[in-house]
Structure formats: C-alpha cells, structure tokens
Structure 1
Amino acid sequence: MRKHMLRFSFVCIMMALFLIPVQALVHSNNEEAGRPVIFFIPVEQTVERGLEAFMNRSFEAAFEAGADHIVLEMNTPGGAVDAAGNIAKLIQDTDIPITTFVNPDAISAGAYIALNTDQIVMHPNASMGSAAVIDGAGNAADEKTQSYWLSRMEAAAQLNGRDPIYALAMADRNIDLPEVRAPEGELLTLGANQALEVNYAEAIASDRSELLEFIGLDNAIIEDMEVSFAEQLARFVTNPIVIPILLSIGSLGLVLELYSPGFGVPGIMGASALLLFFFGHMIAGFAGWESFILLGVGFTLILIEIFIPGFGIFGLLGIGSVIGGMLLASFSMTSMLIYIAIAVIVTAVAAVLIFKYFGFRGPMKKMVLTDSTSNEKGYITNETRKELVGQIGETLTPLRPAGSAVFDNERLDVVSEGGYIEQGSKIEIVYTAGSRIVVRESK
C-alpha cells in the first residue's frame, strides 16, 4: 500500500512539473497569436526584374503568414519601367495594407512604386521624385513612352487621393511649381517636409519604432525579409547592362576555346558566363528547365558539327537551339534579340582580330586547312620547259587553236597564240608554263 502511495505521489509531481511549462507555453502562444504581424521588405538598389521576383516571393510569404501589414523599406535610384509596373500591379492586387518607408531615397521608378502603396512615411533626410523616363543611353525617351509614363504617374497619385500635379512634375520638367521646386525647369524632387505639406507623405519617422508607432503596430511581431544569395545573383544577372556583357563573354570564351589547345580558361569562362545567365534568369522566374535543355542540345549539336562535319546543318541547328533557350529565358524577346546582336558583333570583331594577328591554333588549326602545295615543298605538277622558247617547228595537225607539232623530232601538244594555223605550217614557240606551250606562225 505504501509503495502504491509513493508511486501515485511521484506521478502527480511529475505531471505538475510538466503541466506548469505547458500551461505557460500555451499562455505564451496565445499572447503571440494575439499580436499583429508586420513584414519589412527591402526595396534597394536598381529596380529590375530580379527585384520583382524577390517582391513576389516576399508578398507570398506575407500572405501565407497572415501578415497584418507590409512595410517597403525603400532606398533606390530607380530602374526599369516594366519591372516597376509589375511591382505596382503586385501592390495593387494585394489586400494587405502597405506602407512605404523612404529611407533615404525613392527616385524615379522608386517614386512610382511608393505612390502605389497605401501610405508613405519618410525619413527626415529622405527625398522622392525625379521620375523622368530615359532610354538605355541616358537620353529622354521618345514621346510615346513619355506619354505612357506620365499617365502611369498620374494614375498612381490618384490611386490614394493625392494631387497628380506633383507626380506629373516629377516626370515632366515643363510643369512649373515654383512653390516646391527650385531652380525652375528641373524635375520635381520632394524632401520630407515638402512631401508632408503637399500630402505626398503621411508622416516623418526617424526609425522603425517611430514608424510602427505611427502605423499603430508598435507591439507587432516583426518579420524581416532578406534577399538570398541566389536572388542577389539573379538581380545582378538580369540587369539590362550585365546581360549583353555575359552573353559576349560566353560566346567569345567559346570561340577562344577553339583557338586554344585543350579545354582551358576560355572554355570555362564562356561556359560559366552562359550558365550564370541561365541560372540567374531561372532564379528570377523567367527561365525554366526547357531553357537549360535547349542550351544542352545546342552545345551537343555544335560539338557534333566540329568533330563530325555535317555540311553546317548541325552547327546551324545548335546555334538556333542556344538562341532559342536564351529567348525562352528572357523577360523581353525584343531586348534579348538586341543583346544577342551585341554579343555576336563583339565576338565577330574579336575573333577576326585574334585570327588575323595570332593565326589559327588549337582545335581551330585542325578545322582550317592552312597547308599549300608549292614548289618549295616539293610539289611539282608539270615542269616548265623554258629552253623550248624560240625553237622553230612544224604543225602536224591544224591548230584550232590547239593541236600537235614537231620540234627537233619531238612531238609536243601546243596551242596557238591566237587564230587558226594550217597543218604543215612553220611555227615558233613563244611561251611555256607547265604543260602549256604557246606558239605563233613563223614568217
């Protein structure tokens, strides 16, 4: 009986020890469950398609976590119009309230993205604006593109009840707003206080705590989204400036590999550049496995053409397969065709210069015939009998203009210098070259 009592007491004590932390944990989880969740998403560096892919992933994570609010921590000099438009659509299609915290810059495409969010909070030293659309050379875009961009800026401002005149002034230097812009004739860029005055910012905050206090979520659970290494790589690779450089390095490296004996640095460099291009576009969400398959098929066909000549058919199919993979991996077929054209021109010019000044080496030497048959190497087809020049003979057959003649009892095939010569005519040898003996009628 005493043993049973001891066992019962031990079980009760152990249950009490386990229940206390469990109850505390349940209570703690209930407290966590009652707190709002806010996602902080960095919008940094250039606005491009890699950033768009990261934003898509971040918004999906916020939705799956049941986030109560999203904050875009913005510091960008702007970037691509198409990527900014897609990010703006992503913001508009999201039911979760979104605040942009400008710290310190929302320039160009960054200003457009910020205007699409529900509210804007600026750091005291922040600036927003200067949103003219420019082409790849840094010049003002054409009139059609300018008109489209102005309409998008106006619509973004009106989306949250802001006066569109200021958004238009950010993109059009011809709009005069002397009360908020100096000197005259420049694109509008608003400081924090100016943005607050014209209702382009709802508040000014020096840090996150002031921001959260303004939003009313100072007790929220904070989730920080971070750009992964793969996404950083994808953002770099999908930059419009980097793409043609990568393609040029890839194609030039493979051409140089044909020039170099063995598989060495040029081949590794070229293959790595192309794989980096496809990998970055896959991470960014533009390329699928079909692009890698086409790339592999293309390389295989090109190798077949090099080692088993097929009248160029395998080579053309291989090049077409590689280009097809690039087009499938691109976010813009027109842009990709331009990038490919740039890479082809760079590679062609470099290859011509290399082969001109350094000759053919490596596998290229095996594919290009450089030997010639010359007398110096012992290749003699017909000996030129210069001693015959000046000899007089007689035609055995009519020369029309070719025929036979005899010279010092030696029969030779000859050809007349011009017209017809009758049989039995006296002739003179005037020129010899190999087996060719030229004669004329002798007076």
Structure 2
Amino acid sequence: MTSRRHPRRRSIAGWLAALALFNLAFVAMAQDQRSAPRQAIVLDIEGAIGPATTEYLRHGLSEAVARSAALVILRMDTPGGLDSAMRDIIRDILASPVPVATYVSPSGGRAASAGTYILYASHIAAMAPGTNLGAATPVQLGGGRQPFGGSQEPEKEGSPPATPRDASEAKAVNDAVAYIRGLAELRSRNATWAEKAVREAASLPATEAVQQDVVDFIATDLQDLITKADGRTVRIGDQEQRLATAGLTLVAMEPDWRTQLLAAITNPNIAYILLLLGFYGLIFEFINPGAVAPGVIGAISLLVGFFALNLLPINYAGMALLLLGIALMTAEAFVPSFGVLGIGGAAAFGLGSLFLFDRDVPGFALSWPVVVAATGVSAGFLAIAMAAAVRAHRRSVVTGDTGLVGAPGEVLEWNGPEGYVRVHGERWAARSRVPLVPRQWIRVVGRDRLTLVVEPDAGQTPSGGEAS
C-alpha cells in the first residue's frame, strides 16, 4: 500500500510547488507595477482636426487606460476642423476614466474654433504664454458636413452679434451655442464668453482667458502644467477625483502607421490626386485592354480616394463638374470635335477642382499649385490625344481596297494578260490590259476579289530605275 501512495504524494507536492511559484511571480509583477513610475501620456494635436486626429486620440486614450496613466495631456495648436471629428473627440474625453488636460502650446499657438470646444470639454484647461483661443463660429458647407473655423473675421468688441443669414445657419449657430454652454457648465467654466465665441467669433489671449475663468491657468511648459494641476479636483464620470500629478513621467506617444496613413489620404490634395489617378488609370485600361497595371492601380486609387472623400467636407457640385470635365476630355479623344469638347472639359475640370473643397475651412482646401498642375496635366493629355487624332486623320489608309488602290508593286511572273506581283511585301495574283514583264514596276488601280487590277507605272523603268 505504501508503494502505491508514494507517487500520489509526489504529484500533490509538485502541484503545490507550482502554485507557490505562480503566487511568487504574481506578487513580483504586482510589486513591479507599483514600483513603475507613474506616467502622463502626451498627445499632440497640430493642424486641422479631422478623422486622423480622432483615431490618434482614441488610440492614445485607450493606451493611457492600459498603462494606468495618471493623466493625458493634449498639446494643441489648431486652426479648427470638422464638427464630426470634434464631437467624436469630445465624447471620448467625457467617457475617459483618465483625466485629460488640454494645453495650448507653443507660444504663438492657438485653439481656434473646434479647439475651443475640446479645451472646454477637458478636465484641465491650460495655455502657454502668447497663445489664444476662440473664433468658434461654425461654417456651413454645401456638402452637408459642418466644419468649424472659417475665414470669417471676428466681430469688433462691443458690436452686436451677427444675424444669421437663413434658418439653416441659425440652427447651426444655436446648436453650437447649446453644445459649448453645456460643456462650460459641466466643467464650471465661463459659459457667457463661450456663447460669445460662437455668436461673435470672439477670441481671447492666454492672460485674459485665465482672468475670465475660461481656462484654469497658464503653464510655461509641460512640467509646469503637471505641477500646477497637482491637487486640483476634477469630475470623472459621476465622481470627484483629486489629481496627484506631481512628479509624473511625461511619455510622448506618436501616431501609429494606420493613423499616419489615414492622415495622408484625408489630406485634400492627396485625396484629389488619388481620385485623378483612379479615373485616368481606368480610362487608360479601357483604351488599352489587357494592360492590367493601369487598371489595378486606377481601381485601388479610386477606391482609396472615395474613402477619403467620404470622410472630408466636399461640395457635390464641384464633384459633378470634375467628373463632367474628365468625361468631356475623354470624349474628345474618341470623338474629335476640333477642341470643343476638350476645352469645355478642361474648363469644367478646373472649376470643379476649385469648388470641390470649401476654401473657408482651415486645413481642408486644395492647394492652388496642385489644381493648376492637375489641370495642366489633363490638358496635356487632351492635346496629345487631339494631335494623335489629327495625325490619324491625315495618314493614308493602308488596309482594305482603299489602302491597295494606288500602291506601287513589282511584277514577279507574267504570262499574257495575267501573272503575279508583289505589293506591300505580299504576293498577289494580278491582271492587266497591257503586257508586262518580270521586274517591271506597276501600280494597283483596282481589285477583283483576290486578283489585283494593275497597270504599268509610268514613272518607273522595267529594271526598277526611274525614267529619264
């Protein structure tokens, strides 16, 4: 009996030893986590706020939760951006279990339009010396997407608020006012000035923003920010939380490759070029079936371009003009109209390019050099197609009866009224009303099925030399 129980005891002892080692490893990991330096994740918002910015901040906030970070700092310098992207960012900030501090930096930077809303939504709002915020009036686009931060001039101090031009603009402004006032009340900030920033496009420098209770404090740098934020009480969800930010380790987080790719293709200039590559690639494939590469590149470029346009504020009238211009210039290559279709297509193409994106939206307008270059390249393709059509029209026909009549040739064999001749490098049966001899030059005057009707070439001698 003893010999049978002994292996069982050893098995139980082995399991207990493994459990003890697991517990020791768990305790060591917990101690390492407690001894790891507490972090503040730094995310940079630079330039126009769009879909790529939303993706970047969402990933950064998720990473902050995974790392148990004590604070997320949004270092911001933006002229504005899209309403949809701004609202997505604010929803993520409001739902974040990690406090978020928005810091307008560096000196000379700004948190205009959409940046002002994000600043109001953050748990901590700070600005560097020499920065400003405001001008949060929405700009309505023809395409239906509503961006923030146009080229409108701020109202002068003391002047009455601008009157909305129509019901649609009034709805957009009132919605924006209600939204920013709700954020101001949530964070106990100046709601009156927030409404003024929307209705009158008002702006404030950093010192006045602190005095008017728009932001919490001025910080010279990130270290100064975490020092001044230490001990402040913020609301995370339904609970109050006292910040302990002194001595945090600052960890800057760069955008990953997916965010960088999204930022690249949602650049209006890149999206525009992708669209043109797609159209011209498919057109070239249709003209030259079997080329394969232009079709594949064109299809991929077109799909990626459409994906980018779906995320951007576009004007559909501009898109229609752009497509019409490409269609007319393509038609010119197939149906020569002495330039009427081509010139009209180039004009529609240029106008559609200018109208495709609203130039009042910062960061989401096409560059003039890109439009000029694209129009020039398209017009160049048109000129090449027209030149090829003219040359083809003037070129002599070399196939069929029309290509044979008038063609020179040489007699190979002859017997009476019939024989064989070489025309265009081919051997043909032939007949003639006059006798011919081998090596005599002839000219084709007609064809009867597979037999050519020929006559002597008056300009050639029987030996092949020219007549004197």
**Cα distance 1:348–1:49, how it changes in 2: closer, same or farther (>3 A)?**
same
Q: Paired residue for 1:170, among 168, 187, 197?
A: 197
Q: Distance in 1 between matches of 2:321 and 2:271?
A: 10
Give the alignment partner of residue 280 of structure 2, picking from 224, 240, 252: 252
Indicate yes or no: 2:106 matched with 1:106.
no
Q: 1:240 & 1:142 partners in 2: Cα distance?
A: 25
User: Which of 329, 332, 346 is matched with 1:350 structurally?
Assistant: 329
Calculate percent identity across the aligned residue pairs. 23
In structure 2, how many angstroms separate the alpha carbons of the residues matched to 1:244 and 1:151? 35
Q: Secondary structure at the match of 1:162?
A: coil
Match of 1:294 in 2: none
Matches within 5 A, 1:232-247: 232-239=260-267, 242-247=270-275
Contact (CA 8 Å) 1:120, 1:203: kept in 2 or not? yes
- Kept in 2: contact 1:252–1:350 (CA 8 A): no
Counterpart of 2:40 in structure 1 is: 38
Aligned to 1:121, the other structure's residue is in SS state strand
Task: Give the equivalent residue in structure 2 for 1:157.
Answer: 184
Task: Name the SS of the counterpart of 2:284 in structure 1.
Answer: helix
CA distance in 2 between partners of 1:266 and 1:86 (Å)? 38
* Residue 145 of structure 2 corresponds to residue 118 of structure 1: no
- Select which of 212, 215, 218 maps to 1:198: 212
**Aligned match for 1:65, one of 67, 80, 90:** 67
Alignment of 1:250-289 (within 5 A): 250-259=278-287, 263=291, 267=295, 270-271=298-299, 273-274=301-302, 276-277=304-305
Partner of 2:169: 142
Alignment of 1:291-330 (within 5 A): 330=310
Which residue is 2:378 aligned to? none
Q: Report how far residue 268 of structure 1 moved.
A: 6.7
Kept in 2: contact 1:116–1:160 (CA 8 A): yes
Structure number with larger C-alpha Rg? 1
Does structure 2 conserve the Cα–Cα contact (< 8 Å) formed by 1:244 and 1:340?
no
For the structure 1 residues 236 and 144, does the alpha-carbon distance in structure 2 shift closer, same or farther, using more than 3 Å as the test?
A: farther
Report the residue type matching 2:281 in the other structure: G
Question: 1:76 — aligned with what?
Answer: 78
Residue 277 of structure 1: CA displacement?
Answer: 3.9
Query: Does 225-234 or 111-120 show the bigger shift?
Result: 225-234
Q: Deviations over 1:243-287 (max 9, x none)?
A: 455324312332134345873885576345236448x86xxxxxx
Q: Distance between the aligned counterparts of 2:126 and 2:44, measured in 1? A: 14
The 2-side partners of 1:162 and 1:224 are apart by: 28
Judged with a 3 Å threshold, the aligned counterparts in structure 2 of structure 1 residues 154 and 353 are, in CA distance, closer, same or farther, namely farther
Q: Which amino acid aligns with 2:138?
A: V
Does residue 215 (structure 1) correspond to residue 243 (structure 2)? The answer is: no
Counterpart in the other structure of 2:136: 131
Quote the Cα distance in structure 2 between the aligned partners of 1:203 and 1:336.
Answer: 41
Q: Is residue 272–residue 305 contact of structure 2 (8 Å, CA) maintained in 1?
A: no
User: Structure 2 matches for 1:324-403, cutoff 5 A?
Assistant: 330-331=310-311, 341=320, 344-355=323-334, 356=336, 358=385
Taking structure 1 as the reference length, what is the TM-score of the superposition? 0.55
Q: Unaligned 5+ residue runs, structure 1?
A: 1-24, 174-186, 282-325, 366-370, 380-443
Separation in 2, partners of 1:135, 1:95: 34
1:125-166 Cα deviation digits (max 9, x unpaired): 111111111134858773322222222222222221112121
Letter in 1 for 2:136: A
Listed as ranges, the gaps of 5+ residues in structure 2 are: 1-27, 143-149, 153-167, 231-244, 337-381, 406-468
Please report the RMSD computed on the Cα atoms of aligned residues, expressed in angstroms.
3.9
Residue 41 of structure 2: SS of its match in structure 1? strand
TM-score by length of 2: 0.53
CA shift in 2, pair 1:336/1:170, >3 Å: closer
**Matching residue of 1:49:** 51
Contact 1:48-1:80 at 8 Å conserved across structures: yes
Match of 1:4 in 2: none
